[in-house]
């Protein structure tokens, strides 16, 4: 599905990631952890083709990103939902329109009254905020809206970068439950977080593999988690 | 530009149009620049066409017409006129020659002296209009014969003063078309700048669109359609104003006065309709190039 094979990534003359291999199998659940600045976001970007490895191979659904032009990467992103910590929206559109954006760019006309959209907004608890503009949303609402946007086109993989970074513990638990629910529906999930408490909470609910970036390389986390 | 692209452009995509936020300043700037450029383009077109007509008209007359002026004492004018006419009729290359009537001479002088000029009481030279055959006549030989047989006759073959005017009118025609090209280039440059500014200002929007799977073609299309329609709209307004301004110019025979002939004639009034379409084509091409470059530069 998504595969990093002996990948390295250098930036500004320094190597940020090195000899890194990762396979996201269908239906798997992964946590990626490590201190800030170790390259978690970079690794996620390598996983959805926003960055290209400086060495090794990154394959999205079987195709090496080196052989993919920007449009091919864009099309592969329709199969990958991405949630960022600083989730960005189009401020001139309503929350419902923002959530529906992946379908809009794929050429699927969808209205704010669409049943699937209403159900999705209900799933993330944002039905009453459907017509709100992004600047009017709280941090938790933005994170849930970003998650809804990431999954509206039924992606095979969801990549979440510090999805609970800007929200309180209760909201973190709520987002985690939504991600676990997605995984139970067969969606592959990779969450980058430095929140060990969140990882511990998840491990009691889902068989998750925990990975850690140490000295530019990826390792399986120990039992201390 | 393929037919499919044109149809897609005309039909539009409301949802795609909405993903790009409205950009008030650049929108107004593009519309205004397109309107001004179209207005100027209509004038350049009118200038070019009028100069073309003038060059053709003068050129034709230069090729075919000349004048013999009889400046003689009052009692000899009629005799010298008849002698000149006889000589002209015998001259190879002269198709016809006729003396202008008093009324025709008065009409020629009317713009300068008014309608009440008593031509018959003034020592006004008698004019003979000479029309050449396609082969033309030997002007130098005719001058010598006139000098010998009709002492008061002076041949004016118009070449002396009309040739530079015809050359100037022809160059003015070229200048008009060059101005049109420069206006199109300037419009393209302005639309490119406005499109660049809009694309750069919307880098975050582009990042979000890419994140959710938008292709470069989709993003570019949203911007290209918007700028093409703005250019088309602005140019249409400018063209209408330009046509109105040209229509309001004083009318008159362009051979009588170039400025009074600076207008469209007949089917030429339809030509300015092309200005908004060409402007839209320029806007389309300029935005497409700008979008490709900016999107290629954004990671």
CB-based burial, A187-207: b 16+ in 10 Å, e otherwise: bbbbbbbebeebbebbeeeee
Question: How far apart, in whole angstroms, are the C-alpha atoms of residue B74 and residue B120?
Answer: 10
Contact B19 A75 (CB under 8 A): no
Domain boundary assignment for chain B: 3-59+163-297, 72-151
Q: Does residue B254 surpass a pLDDT of 50? A: no
Which of B212, B214, B215, B296 to mutate: most A Cβ within 10 Å?
A: B212
Report helix, strand or coil for B250.
coil
Report the residue of chain B nearest A71, measured CA to CA: B215
Neighbours of B122 (CB within 10 A): 10
Q: Does residue B243 surpass a pLDDT of 90? A: yes
Contact B216 A92 (CB under 8 A): no
Using CB atoms within 10 A of its CB, is residue B232 exposed (0-12), middle (13-18) or buried (19+)? buried
Residue B62: predicted pLDDT: 66
Question: Nearest 5°: CA angle at B12, between B9 and B18?
Answer: 125
Report the residue of chain A nearest B221, measured CA to CA: A105
ipTM value of the model? 0.85
Instruction: Give the minimum alpha-carbon distance from B19 to chain A in angstroms, rounded to a whole number.
Output: 8
Strands A55-60 and A29-33: unpaired
pLDDT, tens digit, 9 for 90 and up, residues B168-205: 878 888 888 898 889 888 888 888 888 888 888 888 88
Mean pLDDT taken over chain A: 88
Q: Does residue B37 surpass a pLDDT of 50? A: yes
Q: How confident is the model at residue A188 (pLDDT cuts 50, 70, 90)?
A: very high
- Name, of B4-8, B17-21, B162-166, B209-213, the range with top average pLDDT: B209-213
Which of B208, B223, B298 to mutate: most A Cβ within 10 Å?
A: B208
Question: How far apart, in whole angstroms, are the C-alpha atoms of residue B222 and residue B1?
Answer: 16
Domain boundary assignment for chain A: 1-79+156-169+183-225, 87-154
Report helix, strand or coil for B183.
helix
Class of the A1-79+156-169+183-225 domain?
alpha beta
pLDDT, tens digit, 9 for 90 and up, residues B119-149: 677 778 899 999 888 788 888 898 899 889 8
B56, B143 Cβ separation under 8 angstroms: no
Of B15, B21, B217, the CB nearest to A104: B15
How many cross-chain Cβ pairs, A to B, lie less than 8 Å apart? Answer: 57
- For residue A186, CA distances in Å to A27, A179, B29 come to 5, 11, 51
């Amino acid at each position: 599905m998504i595969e990093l094979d002996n990948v390295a990534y250098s930036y500004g003359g320094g190597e940020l990631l090195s000899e890194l291999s990762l396979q996201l199998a269908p239906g798997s659940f992964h946590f990626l952890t490590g201190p800030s600045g170790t390259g978690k976001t970079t690794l996620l970007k390598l996983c959805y083709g926003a960055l290209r490895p400086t060495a090794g191979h990154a394959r999205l659904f079987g195709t090496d990103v080196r052989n993919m032009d920007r449009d091919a990467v864009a099309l592969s992103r329709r199969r990958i939902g991405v949630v960022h910590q600083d989730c960005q929206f189009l401020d001139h559109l309503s929350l419902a329109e923002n959530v529906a954006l992946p379908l809009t760019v794929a050429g699927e006309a969808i209205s704010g009254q669409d049943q699937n959209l209403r159900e999705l907004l209900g799933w993330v608890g944002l039905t009453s905020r459907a017509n709100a503009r992004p600047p009017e949303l709280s941090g938790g609402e933005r994170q849930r809206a970003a998650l809804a946007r990431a999954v509206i086109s039924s992606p095979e993989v969801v990549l979440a970068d510090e999805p609970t970074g800007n929200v309180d513990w209760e909201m973190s638990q709520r987002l985690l439950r939504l991600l676990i629910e997605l995984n139970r529906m067969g969606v592959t999930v990779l969450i980058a977080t430095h929140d060990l408490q969140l990882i511990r909470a998840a491990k009691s609910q889902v068989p998750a593999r925990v990975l850690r970036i140490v000295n530019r390389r990826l390792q399986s986390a120990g039992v201390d988690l | 530009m393929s037919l499919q692209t044109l149809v897609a452009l005309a039909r539009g995509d409301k949802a795609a149009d909405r993903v790009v936020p409205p950009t008030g300043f650049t929108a107004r700037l593009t519309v205004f620049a397109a309107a001004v450029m179209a207005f100027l383009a209509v004038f350049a077109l009118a200038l070019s066409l009028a100069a073309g007509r003038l060059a053709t008209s003068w050129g034709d007359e230069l090729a075919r017409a000349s004048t013999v002026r009889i400046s003689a004492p009052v009692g000899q004018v009629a005799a010298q006129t008849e002698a000149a006419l006889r000589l002209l009729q015998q001259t190879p290359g002269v198709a016809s020659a006729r003396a202008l009537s008093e009324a025709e001479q008065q009409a020629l002088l009317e713009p300068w002296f008014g309608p009440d000029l008593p031509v018959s009481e003034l020592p006004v030279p008698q004019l003979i209009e000479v029309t050449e055959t396609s082969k033309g006549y030997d002007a130098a030989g005719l001058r010598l014969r006139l000098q010998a047989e009709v002492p008061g006759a002076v041949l004016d073959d118009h070449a002396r003063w009309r040739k530079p005017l015809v050359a100037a009118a022809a160059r003015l025609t070229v200048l008009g078309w060059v101005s049109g090209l420069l206006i199109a280039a300037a419009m393209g440059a302005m639309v490119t700048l406005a499109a660049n500014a809009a694309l750069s200002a919307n880098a975050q929007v582009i990042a979000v669109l890419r994140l959710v799977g938008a292709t470069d073609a989709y993003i570019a299309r949203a911007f290209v359609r918007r700028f093409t329609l703005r250019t088309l709209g602005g140019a249409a307004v400018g063209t209408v104003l330009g046509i109105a301004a040209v229509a309001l110019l004083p009318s008159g025979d362009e051979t009588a006065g170039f400025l009074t002939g600076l207008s469209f004639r007949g089917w030429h009034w339809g030509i300015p309709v092309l200005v908004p379409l060409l402007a839209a084509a320029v806007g389309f091409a300029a935005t497409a190039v700008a979008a490709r470059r900016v999107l290629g530069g954004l990671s």
